A and B are shown apart, each in its own frame.
Chain A
């Protein structure tokens, strides 16, 4: 079936608009699109999106993470193997994390990472045929908020929700941060780590994040207000 931008699309649909745009210049195909000899095909169910001038992709609901380079992810250390840690990032296989890729780590000064710890890191390498590699330092050798996350709580959600709350236009974090203090780390692999002063406040943050998945901007704002009032009402 022929489809246009902002349509709900299904696998095997074809988009001629992209082909036309491709004749006059370069086109970038994002997830869910594949180029074949006779046109551009859609391989995922979702909504076809375009970003000017030439980027196209399909936005679909997804829970399984496919590693991709330079994305920040949250993983759980599952194994210590010699000088690397194996980290479960929710992909098809575990990622490797060298003990040297922490801030200030040397061969003598090993970082204190235990099995079961939650780490926030960046994908250094994510090719299709190799084990993905994770680092907890930036190119300056600084930790830059990355590293082991202490205490708090980690939960899983859909990849769409992560993209939604990281979108600068999403009012969730802007309105939540006025209500009560908390820390949060969002991994592109569908995991969120949160920490607040008390258990109730931590749950409230999680509640607000999960509740915003299908809410509009106005609904998110009023939901944050609502949660804050529940929290305040119970505490006093």
Chain B
């Protein structure tokens, strides 16, 4: 993976602006970006967007032999993929630290917290069990991949239904979806990860975007930023902590973890409620045989809303809808434009090409050389 290089001015600006109590996109410290979950036509496929970050998750199942030590339990397998589509600095088919880190976090959050009833996935003890595989693909990377991927994993797992089976003696029949209604996966609880960026060892930013994430983990030239880091808190809807992970600097202040957990508890509950609600309404629609697929995401308004409402750089009170309201002052403004600017602003962006200067005869070197030629 090519390292993405941050300029000093970006680092300093973000540091300064965060310590002044603002964020680049006008959010408050504990405000998240807009979350959107869409389900695909298959069971267990969904796209989750968190601001500009976008993750696709797909759950599949197959019948395999169980592990020797756990003969009566199914298998859960989570696989994360990051391609150059997510961000240009990633390379295809290459294991990166981020990928391994995300894979491990998701496994901790969903496998080790025992949220899935693996015993219900057993078909014949020691012979056949269901193996459930979650493929998480990062489509766009704009920070907070862990949270987005965990929501995608959770909603696809909760949405997934495996085919029904009947056992008659030694043989096992797997029914197709048209023969028998499929069975949903049993989830004991719904864990969700949420990420916090720590600045100056006492400021917590929830749902950091890519720039905030990379600034708080990188060090500035004076090494003054050893106090930044990323804290991932995994929690379920009963406000139980399933996962705690810190990258970056050590925390000197225990209050900050406490604050993060309190913060995450409310957030996770809201997210889980949303996931449950969406799955219920999706189920309803499917029973009415309404066609559901990802094409619902693409609307003309969607394109505009992405570009206009979720600006990366935004003032706190800025609202797109206000723009059209003050059209009556247009004529007045045009007069203003004709006036000379109050401030002496020079546009440094005018294209000065070499040809333009040679036309003006600006370069003295050329003139001298041409003189000497004549001599």
The residues of A with any CB-CB pair to B shorter than 8 Å are: 64, 70-72, 76, 78, 88, 114, 116-118, 120, 122, 138-140, 144-145, 149-155, 166, 171, 173-175, 177-178, 180-186, 193, 199-200, 202-204, 206-207, 209-211, 213-215, 218-219, 221-223, 225-227, 230-231, 233-234
Are A76 and B5 closer than 8 Å at their CB atoms?
yes
**B95 located at the interface, meaning its Cβ lies under 8 Å from any Cβ of chain A in the complex:** no
Are B88 and A64 closer than 8 Å at their CB atoms?
yes
- Total residue contacts A-B, CB cutoff 8 A: 156
Are A207 and B345 closer than 8 Å at their CB atoms?
no
Are B13 and A202 closer than 8 Å at their CB atoms?
yes
Interface string of B284-327 (1 = CB under 8 A from A): 00000000000000000000100110011111011010111111
Given the known inter-chain contacts A215-B323, A222-B326, please indicate yes or no for A207 contacting B313, CB distance below 8 A.
yes
Are A117 and B7 closer than 8 Å at their CB atoms?
yes
Complex alpha-carbon distance, A229 and B167, angstroms: 72
Are A222 and B313 closer than 8 Å at their CB atoms?
no
Are A76 and B7 closer than 8 Å at their CB atoms?
yes
Residues in A with CB closer than 8 Å to B363 are 139-140
- Shortest C-beta distance, B105 to chain A (Å), equals 28
Complex alpha-carbon distance, A181 and B318, angstroms: 20
Given the known inter-chain contacts A183-B348, A215-B323, please indicate yes or no for A153 contacting B9, CB distance below 8 A.
yes
Complex alpha-carbon distance, A215 and B309, angstroms: 12
Complex alpha-carbon distance, A210 and B315, angstroms: 12
**B258 located at the interface, meaning its Cβ lies under 8 Å from any Cβ of chain A in the complex:** no
Are A210 and B358 closer than 8 Å at their CB atoms?
no
Assuming A139-B354, A177-B343, what are 4 further A-B pairs, CB within 8 angstroms? Answer: A118-B7, A145-B348, A184-B348, A221-B337
How many B residues face the partner with a CB closer than 8 A?
A: 58
- B17-25, B111-119, B238-246 - the one binding chain A: B17-25
Are B337 and A178 closer than 8 Å at their CB atoms?
yes
Which residue of B has the minimal Cβ distance to A86? B5
- Shortest C-beta distance, B235 to chain A (Å), equals 32
Residues in A with CB closer than 8 Å to B180 are none
Are A166 and B349 closer than 8 Å at their CB atoms?
yes
CB pairs A–B below 8 angstroms (27 shown) = A72-B352, A114-B221, A116-B5, A117-B7, A118-B7, A139-B354, A154-B9, A155-B313, A177-B345, A178-B337, A181-B343, A199-B13, A199-B20, A200-B315, A202-B13, A203-B314, A204-B315, A206-B312, A207-B313, A214-B308, A219-B323, A225-B333, A226-B322, A226-B323, A226-B326, A227-B315, A233-B317
Q: Which of A117, A199, A200, A203 has a CB less than 8 Å from the CB of B8?
A: A117
Residues in A with CB closer than 8 Å to B323 are 215, 219, 222-223, 226
Which residue of B has the minimal Cβ distance to A162? B349
Are B326 and A139 closer than 8 Å at their CB atoms?
no
Complex alpha-carbon distance, A82 and B163, angstroms: 65
